[in-house]
Amino acid sequence: MLSEAQGLPLAVAVSGANMHDSQAFKPLILGIPAVRSRRGPRRWKPAKIRADKAYYSAEHLRWLRSRNLVARIARPGIESGERLGRHRWKIERSISWLFGYRRLTVRYERKGSHFLAFLGLAATLICYKKLAKIPL
């Protein structure tokens, strides 16, 4: 799941259980929809990307730099993830909102496309409830 700064889901994806999360990094970044701004042209990309230490690699950093994105990723063994924790709770909260929908806590569907559809519906409901100021 990829979310914006306040925790609204921007992109969701489903991967196999035996895949590392960093393999879904690029498709999630590419799946970000256009951001509508009140003034001026639409922004097509975020300004900064915050991620866990698991996403730190030279390949990902090069890829982000080629797309003019600023990476805020703690380096393993050098920096602590403590500073990232100030921002991480927002994505953790968003994931808990997703799993508040009973159908998503246990995967009942045999096909990944069905599960992805329910995941997209849940993300849409979260966005609607948050923007309409309905308690989650």
Find the CATH number of the domain harbouring 84: 3.30.420
Q: How many domains does the chain have?
A: 1
Task: Check: CB of residue 12 under 8 Å from CB of residue 119.
Answer: yes
Is 61 within a domain? yes
Cβ count near 97 (within 10 Å) = 21
DSSP 70: E
Is 16 within a domain? yes
3-state secondary structure of 73: strand
The model carries a pTM of: 0.72
Query: Domain residues for 109?
Result: 2-131
**Per residue in 103-113, pLDDT tens?**
777 777 788 88
Is 14 within a domain? yes
For residue 43, pLDDT over 80 is answered with no
Query: pLDDT at position 29, please?
Result: 86
For residue 81, pLDDT over 70 is answered with no
Task: State the average pLDDT over residues 51-79.
Answer: 84
Is 49 within a domain? yes
As a whole number of angstroms, the longest Cα–Cα distance in the chain is: 45
The region, left, alpha or beta by phi > 0 then psi within -120 to 50, assigned to residue 115 is alpha
